């Protein structure tokens, strides 16, 4: 009898119809293992549809590997975009997959992953095996195999560099894994890459150039505009179809650039201090640009509401930007409270100019965003504005630097919110906004946001916080994308900076009602872009 993943939302019949239709929308969301051939495929594989009795669906390629299947050489399932389920799901499986993608197993081992999730290593292995068909080591191994395949077919890196860039401990381990997963040696896998991949102009010396898959439609223009409005001089630079920045990763500084080429492909160029940071970088860039989103599902769900349908028609495939660095995201959000985007960008640029670490310049970018320790110790000397806000920012940085506050993509959503709300100067808006950006939570409303309310009014939705929140419940679980549409819809003239507020006696700032319009000419909240 055909196996059905008990935790999946789709039934066996629904998945089978998807593979029979070769529906690309489901690529990356599950794999199809065929017992008669011993291979697994993406749903859109052009091969003949197997008989239902021979099919087993798995939620991850790692589960298929563990069951003894190898990847299809024709459809290359490892080349599909990642599953949107890991953002949509806030359970242990979703949190673990986000952390594994961020390289936690390579850096801290399974015990480190388990500690972050609040379980013993043994219990975590049992949970993930039950949920996903594979334990943490197998899931991390599949991640390494995916990175190796991507490098073999997209670059001319020597095999040894590919091995260590993908996170393998040795070239032998790399060779064995590639043969086991793909049924080909690394050299044979590279030889099968499409001719187009071999004719791409060579990147600059020391630069890795990759294609990042995504699901169409993709609102690239909106994302690049978002980044451009928030670019901190020296750290970031953005144009109409590109974004670049320098970023601190576990192995050292990295420069990367994202650009949309003439063929509509999203290309990542990078220079790394340590090649082993490449999987981490790819994971963070994918989160920053929301590349694993399911825009078809989002657009279909939101278009079902007549008031929102015109917004979706105008901007299909809208994305919710993530965070390249969770700690930095919190600081940027707090500094941007109740001031204009321009003012926040000025403050962040001054902070970075004074406290950011200098790096070798590349395309005009020559510094890293300051460490939390630097902000905690010297931020008060640089920051301007209300004393309560400065104390709140430096206090948050001190908590992050000391480890008293942990903030990352594997956090439990509600626990993260509670931890943030416990900080002076952090109210519901900031806590929820950080959840949206750091966790990739697709279901955040921000009912007190001025631009959301202005966009709601323009779209004919209730504009008061309580009324809007009640209406928005019907858009679950895609309320973050509704928020992005309403930011876009907010009339410029409807947004006004609020009057200065007096800090409460406890030194906290009331941030319940922050203005924001990420797409208008005069956006008013720096944290959003």
Mind telling me the catalytic residues? 41, 449
What whole-number distance in Å separates Cα of residue 423 and Cα of residue 393? 10
* Token pair in block for residue 523: 């956006």
What whole-number distance in Å separates Cα of residue 458 and Cα of residue 363? 41
What whole-number distance in Å separates Cα of residue 206 and Cα of residue 273? 10
What whole-number distance in Å separates Cα of residue 402 and Cα of residue 235? 24
Sheet with strand 39-41: strands edge to edge: 55-58, 31-34, 39-41, 70-71
The 3-class SS string of 390-449 reads HHHHHHHHHHHHHCCCCCCCCCCHHHHHHHHHCCCCCCHHHHHHHHHHHCCCCCCCCCCC
What whole-number distance in Å separates Cα of residue 439 and Cα of residue 419? 14
Please answer whether residues 444 and 483 qualify as being in contact, where contact means their C-beta atoms are separated by less than 8 angstroms: yes
Exposed/middle/buried for residue 420 (C-beta within 10 Å: 0-12, 13-18, 19+): buried
Among 276, 255, 285, 257, CA closest to 161: 276
Please answer whether residues 409 and 292 qualify as being in contact, where contact means their C-beta atoms are separated by less than 8 angstroms: no
What whole-number distance in Å separates Cα of residue 144 and Cα of residue 78? 11
């Amino acid at each position: 009898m055909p196996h059905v993943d008990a935790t999946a939302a789709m039934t066996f019949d629904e998945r089978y119809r998807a593979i029979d239709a070769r529906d690309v929308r489901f690529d990356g969301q599950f794999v199809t293992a065929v017992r008669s051939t011993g291979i697994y495929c993406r749903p859109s594989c052009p091969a003949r549809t197997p008989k239902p009795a021979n099919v087993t669906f798995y939620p991850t390629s790692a589960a298929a590997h563990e069951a003894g299947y190898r990847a299809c050489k024709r459809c290359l399932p490892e080349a599909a975009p990642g599953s949107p389920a890991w953002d949509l799901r806030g359970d242990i499986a979703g949190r673990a997959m986000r952390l594994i993608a961020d390289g936690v197993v390579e850096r801290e081992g399974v015990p480190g992953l388990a500690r972050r999730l609040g379980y013993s290593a043994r219990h975590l292995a049992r949970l993930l095996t039950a949920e996903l068909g594979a334990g943490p080591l197998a899931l991390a191994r599949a991640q390494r195999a995916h990175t190796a395949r991507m490098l073999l077919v997209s670059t001319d890196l020597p095999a040894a560099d590919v091995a260590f860039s993908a996170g393998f401990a040795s070239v032998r381990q790399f060779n064995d894994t590639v043969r086991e997963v793909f049924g080909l040696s690394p050299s044979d896998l590279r030889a099968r890459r499409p001719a187009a991949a071999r004719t791409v102009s060579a990147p600059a010396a020391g630069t890795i150039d990759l294609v990042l898959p995504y699901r169409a439609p993709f609102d690239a223009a909106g994302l690049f505009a978002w980044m451009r409005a928030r670019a901190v001089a020296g750290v970031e630079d953005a144009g109409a179809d590109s974004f670049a920045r320098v970023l601190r990763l576990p192995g050292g500084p990295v420069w990367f650039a994202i650009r949309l080429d003439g063929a509509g492909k999203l290309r990542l160029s990078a220079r790394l201090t340590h090649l082993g940071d490449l999987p981490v970088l790819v994971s963070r860039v994918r989160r920053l640009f929301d590349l694993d989103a399911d825009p078809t599902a989002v657009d279909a769900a939101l278009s079902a509401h007549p008031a929102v349908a015109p917004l979706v028609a105008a901007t299909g495939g809208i994305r919710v930007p993530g965070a390249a660095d969770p700690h930095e995201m919190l600081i940027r959000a707090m500094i941007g409270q109740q001031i204009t985007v321009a003012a926040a960008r000025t403050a962040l640029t001054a902070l970075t100019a004074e406290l950011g670490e200098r790096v070798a310049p590349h395309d005009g970018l020559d510094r890293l965003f300051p460490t939390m320790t630097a902000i905690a110790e010297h931020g008060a000397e640089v920051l301007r504005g209300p004393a309560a806000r400065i104390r709140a920012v430096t206090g948050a940085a001190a908590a992050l630097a000391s480890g008293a506050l942990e903030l990352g993509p594997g956090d439990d959503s509600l626990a993260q919110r509670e931890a943030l709300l416990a900080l002076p100067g952090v109210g519901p808006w900031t806590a929820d906004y950080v959840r949206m950006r750091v966790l990739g939570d697709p279901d955040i409303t921000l009912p007190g946001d001025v631009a959301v309310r202005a966009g709601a009014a323009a779209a004919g939705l209730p504009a008061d916080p309580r009324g809007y929140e009640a209406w928005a419940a019907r858009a679950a679980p895609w309320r973050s994308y509704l928020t992005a549409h309403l930011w876009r819809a907010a009339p410029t003239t409807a947004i006004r900076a609020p009057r200065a507020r007096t800090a409460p006696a406890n030194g906290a700032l009331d941030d319940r009602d922050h203005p924001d319009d990420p797409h208008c000419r005069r956006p008013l909240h720096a944290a959003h872009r």
